Chain A
Amino acid sequence: MYTSVITDTTLPEVNLGIRGNGHHPIVSIQRLNVYAGNHHILKNINLDIPKNKITVLLGPSGCGKTTLLKCMNRLTDLYHELKVTGDVWIDGDNILKSNDNIAALRQKMGLLSQRPYPLPMSIFKNVAYGIKLKGIYDKKLIQYNVEKYLREVGLWEEVKDRLHQPAVGLSIGQQQRLCLARGLAVRPQIILADEPTSALDPISSKIIENLFKELKKNYTIILVTHVLRQAVRLADHVVFMSYGEIIEEGAPADLFKNPATEKLREYIYDGN
């Protein structure tokens, strides 16, 4: 499992750290609290995320799933009103405490948001952007990697003739796959996906889902979804949250068949 991440040596590796083997959690969150003024958004979260698995975050709207994802790559820094305490260990680094090179830390994680935000540039440059940030300027190498990752998300055939046109010209489903390609191109270890299919039609959703199944061989995926069936199809590990707390977590088979708490039972049965 460990080696599969680095079999392709065309790009320099991010530091895989001391925790980079399959038996340890790749993300370990301890006593995480997030406040916005008086509002206690995340309440004492303790959570381990297994490596090279799909972990699904479930929970009613407003329970703090997006906020939890943002804590993992410190996008909470962007919001002056959020106060974050606790520890988030990613691959041996306590990212909330360490202040050096957040940009490199963030490159260990790819982000796929609810709606795609293509950068204001061409399709090609969208994928090349992160590669260049890693200090790679060799044209051939960039070209090779852009093609590689566009193929990986199944977009290459659709866009190969218009690589230099603006990315905003693509359909939303294509944009979402472009955003995935652009995220993969920086060679992260973890993919943070926040309802990545909520703006997509069933066919595009299916494409993304299948990609995730494929990608989990090499990546750890943390997926937020409101679609229970999607959770059932994809999850290796399920975390159910409510009002900023983790209520239950476990293997999907156990959790969905025998929910231990009333809250989860309600969520599952009233939802469908």
Chain B
Amino acid sequence: MNWRKKTEELVAREIMRFSTYSLILILVFIIAVIFVKGFRALTPDMVLKTPQGGFYYGGEGGVLNAIVGSIYIACGATLIAIILGIPAALYINVSLTKYKRLKNIIRFFLDALWGIPSIVYGAFGFTLMLLMGMNASLISGIIVVALLITPIVVRTFDEILSTIPRGLHEASLALGSTRTEMAYRVLFKQGFSGFITAVLLAFGRGIGDAASVLFTAGYTDLIPTALDEPAATLPLAIFFQLSSPIPEVRERAFAAAAILTIIILIISLAARFLSARYSKTNLR
């Protein structure tokens, strides 16, 4: 008996260990490949300049247009997603506590929205733009990406909010809070780390998605200066350059991928830092 338990324990532990480390290894491998392949093209020019003459044949310049475009779109979309998402997630957990059915239906729809592939959002946005007589532009890109990531913000934040013990709801109401005060002064704070995770996930998906911006934001070598101008994005920069027959250009695709990865890493670290700082005051 004892012997059986011991082997069971050992095997289970080894399986868990293997899964964990192989996942991390794959991740490290991906990052290594991108950096090794893109390393030579990763020059200061690459992040400081927009494409110059003959860029797509291996000429001068960089992908500053795509970096700026991606950051504009991801930040704009994340901002919209936050503005829509916080009240929605709090509403589900505060005003709907008595309506279990409705709550489940709303969660079901949000999950469905989360699962819809981004190319569908892109196609939807494109149709809408045609109807409204709009061209590919920064604002269209922002709106479509916002639609894509808002369900992520709401559901991720909602999951954390729903784990907050009833006792904390009761305590804040008993002190005389209205439901709104409880939502924003207590639950929001208590769920802050979940909120940060939500924003991070949403931002990552937003900045990394190619399909939703392909038809809606378009592509341009210029840095957009107004909301109705088209905007380049890093995922599309990678896509276009990777399909080039010229090796130097393909190298730049990897450099662009490396830049995208770095941006996401920076955001992740900042988010971790923030949530660690704020969750110190939280009930565990």
A interface residues with partner B (beta carbon < 8 Å) = 70, 73, 75, 77-80, 103-104, 106-107, 109-111, 113, 115, 117-122, 129-130, 133-134, 166-168, 179, 182-183, 186, 192
Contact = CB atoms under 8 A, between A and B. Distances in A.
B97 interface: yes
A120 B174 CA distance: 16
The 6 closest A-B pairs by CB, nearest first: A111-B174, A107-B176, A80-B98, A166-B281, A130-B175, A117-B171
B181 interface: yes
A103 B281 contact: no
A117 B167 contact: yes
B169 interface: yes
B168 interface: yes
B175 A120 contact: no
B283 A168 contact: yes
B190 interface: yes
Interface in B95-150: 97-100
A113 B281 contact: no
A167 B282 CA distance: 8
Given A107-B176, A118-B283, A120-B186, A113 B98 contact: no
Contacts of B165: 117
Interface residues of B, number: 29
Contacts of B17: none
Contact of B97 (A78, A113, A115, A122): A78
A119 B98 contact: no
A129 B175 contact: yes
Contacts of A167: 281
Interface string B157-169: 0000000011111
B49 interface: no
Nearest to A122: B281
B184 to A, nearest CB: 12
B185 interface: yes
A78 B99 contact: no
Nearest to B170: A75
B276 interface: no
Interface of B: 97-100, 165-178, 181, 185-186, 189-190, 192, 280-284
Nearest to B172: A119
Contacts of A118: 283
A179 B172 CA distance: 11
Contact of A103 (B100, B176, B186): B176
Contacts of B175: 106-107, 129-130, 133, 182-183, 186
B282 A78 contact: no
B281 A120 contact: yes
Nearest to B191: A120
Contacts of B98: 77-80
A106 B283 contact: no
Given A106-B173, A119-B172, A129 B280 contact: no
B283 A120 contact: yes
A110 B281 contact: no
29 contacts: A70-B170, A73-B174, A75-B170, A75-B173, A75-B174, A77-B98, A78-B97, A78-B173, A79-B97, A103-B177, A106-B175, A107-B175, A107-B176, A111-B171, A111-B174, A117-B171, A120-B282, A122-B281, A129-B185, A130-B175, A133-B176, A133-B177, A166-B280, A167-B281, A168-B284, A179-B171, A183-B174, A186-B175, A186-B176
Nearest to A107: B176
Contacts of A133: 175-177, 181
A196 to B, nearest CB: 13
A211 B203 CA distance: 51
B281 A168 contact: yes
Given A103-B176, A168-B282, A179-B171, 7 more contacts: A73-B173, A77-B98, A80-B97, A111-B171, A120-B189, A166-B280, A183-B175
B167 A119 contact: no
A106 B175 CA distance: 7
Nearest to B167: A117
A111 B282 contact: no
Contacts of A73: 173-174
Contacts of A109: 174
Nearest to B166: A78
A179 B283 CA distance: 13
B276 to A, nearest CB: 13
Nearest to B280: A166
A113 B167 contact: yes
Nearest to B103: A80
Contacts of B169: 78
Contacts of B173: 73, 75, 78, 103, 106
A212 B270 CA distance: 47
A113 B170 CA distance: 9
A183 B169 CA distance: 14
A80 B96 CA distance: 9
B170 A119 contact: no
B188 to A, nearest CB: 9
Nearest to A114: B167
A124 to B, nearest CB: 11
